[in-house]
Structure 1
Amino acid sequence: MTHDDDRPTSAGHNTRLVRSGANPRGFHGFVNPPVYHGSTVLFPDTATMRSRGQKYTYALRGTPTTDALEEALDGLEGSAGTILLPSGLAAVTVPLLAFLSAGDHVLIVDSVYTPTRRFADSVLTRMGVAVEYFDPAVGEGLASLMRPETRVVFLEAPGSNTFEMMDIRAASGIAHAGGAVAMLDNTWATPLYFRPLEHGVDLSIHALTKYPGGHSDLLMGSVSANAATYDRLRDTQMALGINVAPDDTSLVLRGLKTMGIRLERHQESALQLAHWLEGCDEVARVLHPALPSFSGHALWKSQFSGSSGLFSIVLRGGGMTEAAAFLDALKLFGLGYSWGGFESLAVVADLSDRILAKAPSEGPVIRLQIGLEDVADLRADIENGLAAVNRLKD
């Protein structure tokens, strides 16, 4: 074990984050685990080599550095095992490859992360998997979409860009009743604010690039699985030959130590700005599940213990011209596709690939990542963007 066996077992999440992945007594007193660079592992004799009778056999199969992060994530997720992958998208694609074969059917929520849809519509379709999307508001109607050959129900809550909510326990139960596994992309909430496996999900997916890394300087993903699905997930990872770099692993371990307090700041700042934006004439709607005005608020409140720094606004009228005017007037908010780092970002959401969860009709959707800057400064920057939209109307 790479963790400290004396750490509190029922401590708060900040205590667990600070202590996770650490075993100072096992590493000569150093508070952080060492970063193991290498591929080859030596065996003491041929018998051990033939039996692989030692913990580490080759770096692809794990090192003390990757073990530390995997075990830290298991502690946060309550999972039987976690695998690490070189990007958040890989954390989506590997479990889909693990549990789908030619002739199978997969149900995917229509408000899913766009690259997930792209993978499903290209690679999975070429594999002979039947891909079907469902409305996040389907509720119990999901059961009528299940087929005898349905093997995976893929969930994301809140949904990408528009933050639709759903009853995750009910959806997972429907998947299991039909003989399928339930997967959920939990990047928005992190395991601090939602633990999918406690709600019936089999595999919890994260882009560690986002809040766990927290500093916009790495790419990584993880999949945390229950006991029923972990072995197949790990075997698929090894068959594909995918693992992660030691330096990036060390950076995520570092990021975890402060994720709790960073998330508190992201949450507080985002909610302040979201409440203010609800009163702005230029904004038709604010898409944030923690707002009482949001259509999925009750579902969010009944399942999640907090919210993060990502939400969207719907401008009142216009299209790409108005969206571009808003974005181009911003000085503090960077124009970038990622989120979860220390800096604020903004991007226009392209929802043209939606089939059922249609884009809001009032105007363009702008996604805001609220970083760690002062709220007053971010508000002034957004006011500049709204003023630029108003100038187009003059």
Structure 2
Amino acid sequence: MTDRAANEENHAFPHPPVYRFTSGIYQDYQALERASKDLLKQHYPRYSRFGTPMTDAVEHEITRLEGGYGSLSTCSGLAAITSVLMTFLRPGDHILLTRTVYEPVHRFVSTFLHQLGITATFLTSAEFSHCDDYLTDKTRLIYIESPSSNIFEVTDIGAVAVQARQKGIMTVMDNTWSTPVLFNPLQHGIDVVIHSASKYLAGHSDAVVGIITTTEQYYAPIRQYLMNAGICAGGEESSSLYKGLKTLTTRLKNQRETAHRLIAFLLAHPAVETVISPHLTSHPDHETYRKYYQYSNGLFSFSVRNTSSTRRDAFLSQFRTVKLAYGWGGVDSCLIPFTPSYTSNDDPEWLFFRVSVGLEDGDILIAEFSSALSKL
């Protein structure tokens, strides 16, 4: 029986146990020899770096949610992203990426991949709609983050997938914003889906873990790379993720509803210049968003006119329930200032903040924002 089939049949407990081990113990030489020939190390017993019952359970559940062939867990969302890029890219290759991609990804591509002789073109969501204009005979991979970091540009996923498939180019999408509950990229022609599971999937800001879900074509090469590079997720982090998946749909619904209340308050506030969320008709990619999404999540951004550092600090000092933190997607509401990557870093006209709504009472959050905005 395969590990996947075993997981499907094991319903004795609500959560699989966390096995703390390094190497599994073989019963005899024949079992050891069979394991040595199992190149992808998918059968037990095995070394824990190749997977444990807990990581198998998480990967099985994400595969089910995304509708993929298989999933692979890593030690972080960034590790998931860089592992996929390193698996398939070679010196001389060219890639297309979202212009407002997660900053560490932008940095990895612009520095490390550039040093390897891999070139990149960063596109807006509008440019992606005719991405064939930017393809070259060296283009090997298209990487999309949609909605993208902080300003939530929404790419026409289906259109990109069609153009890529016609050219034989693989497509990769960061689906962290959406989670499998809101969108399934594989069902729209994407080849590889990545999640920073530290965000909404785990949901409690207590685990750093990444997940890769693929079609059959790309599963084995990525697994082989992860094994060779020694990149794996730990049992405790995987356990936190597994439990987070149980409440994912409920958390997203609650966070979305509270975020909509807070957005309505901010839209009406005289100190707020703009609110950025793709579910708003004011967002430039709203029509594309409506093509793929029924619901939003608890993440949005807003801007105020740039002011003195004293007033900015006074604004931030008013928050108690809302935390000043980079993380998002957890049960605690967080806020962080940012400068959009398409603007100058030198004295921008507007001051931007990204907000991740948690599970606190909406009235408390609105009261804190009201008090904070009075200081600007």
**TM-score between both structures, scaled by the size of structure 2:** 0.92
The 3-state SS of whatever aligns with 1:378 is helix
Q: Is 2:15 the counterpart of 1:32? A: yes
C-alpha contact (below 8 Å) 1:2/1:68 kept by paired residues: no
C-alpha change, 1:139 and 1:121, in structure 2 (3 Å) is: closer
Residue 25 (structure 2) aligns with: 42
Equivalent residues in 2 for 1:350-365, closer than 5 Å: 350-351=339-340, 353-354=341-342, 363-365=350-352
The 3-state SS of whatever aligns with 2:264 is helix
The letter for the 2-side match of 1:165 is V
Q: Which consecutive unaligned segments of at least 5 residues does structure 1 have?
A: 6-20, 390-394
Residue 373 (structure 1) aligns with: 360
Give the whole-Å Cα distance in 2 for the aligned partners of 1:171 and 1:32: 38
Equivalent residues in 2 for 1:1-12, closer than 5 Å: none
Residue 284 (structure 2) aligns with: 295
**Cα displacement (A) at 1:232:** 1.3
**Cα displacement (A) at 1:298:** 1.5
**Cα displacement (A) at 1:60:** 1.5
Q: Percent identity?
A: 33
Give the whole-Å Cα distance in 1 for the aligned partners of 2:311 and 2:85: 38
**Cα displacement (A) at 1:296:** 1.5
2:121 paired residue among 132, 141, 149? 132
C-alpha contact (below 8 Å) 2:97/2:122 kept by paired residues: yes
Residue 69 (structure 1) aligns with: 58
Residue 370 (structure 2) aligns with: 383
Residue 17 (structure 1) aligns with: none
**Cα displacement (A) at 1:360:** 12
C-alpha change, 1:114 and 1:55, in structure 2 (3 Å) is: same
Give the whole-Å Cα distance in 2 for the aligned partners of 1:348 and 1:307: 21
Give the whole-Å Cα distance in 2 for the aligned partners of 1:169 and 1:205: 17
Residue 212 (structure 2) aligns with: 223
Equivalent residues in 2 for 1:294-373, closer than 5 Å: 294-318=283-307, 323-351=312-340, 353-354=341-342, 363-373=350-360
C-alpha change, 1:377 and 1:71, in structure 2 (3 Å) is: same
**Cα displacement (A) at 1:22:** 7.1
The 3-state SS of whatever aligns with 2:64 is helix
- The count of corresponding residues between Structure 1 and Structure 2 is 369
Task: Map Cα deviations across residues 275-321 of structure 1 (whole Å, 9 max, x no partner).
Answer: 22111111111101112222211111110232111100011344766
C-alpha contact (below 8 Å) 2:129/2:155 kept by paired residues: no
**Cα displacement (A) at 1:23:** 5.1
Equivalent residues in 2 for 1:260-271, closer than 5 Å: 260-271=249-260
Q: CA RMSD in A?
A: 2.3
**Cα displacement (A) at 1:331:** 2.1
Equivalent residues in 2 for 1:269-288, closer than 5 Å: 269-288=258-277
C-alpha change, 1:309 and 1:63, in structure 2 (3 Å) is: same
C-alpha contact (below 8 Å) 1:22/1:32 kept by paired residues: no
C-alpha contact (below 8 Å) 2:24/2:44 kept by paired residues: no
C-alpha contact (below 8 Å) 1:336/1:345 kept by paired residues: yes
2:34 paired residue among 51, 58, 83? 51
Give the whole-Å Cα distance in 2 for the aligned partners of 1:96 and 1:324: 39
C-alpha contact (below 8 Å) 1:73/1:82 kept by paired residues: yes
Q: Is 2:136 the counterpart of 1:147? A: yes
C-alpha contact (below 8 Å) 2:299/2:356 kept by paired residues: yes
Tell me whether 58-67 or 93-102 shows the greater mean CA deviation.
Answer: 58-67
Q: Which consecutive unaligned segments of at least 5 residues does structure 2 have?
A: none
Give the whole-Å Cα distance in 1 for the aligned partners of 2:244 and 2:346: 34
Tell me whether 136-145 or 62-71 shows the greater mean CA deviation.
Answer: 136-145
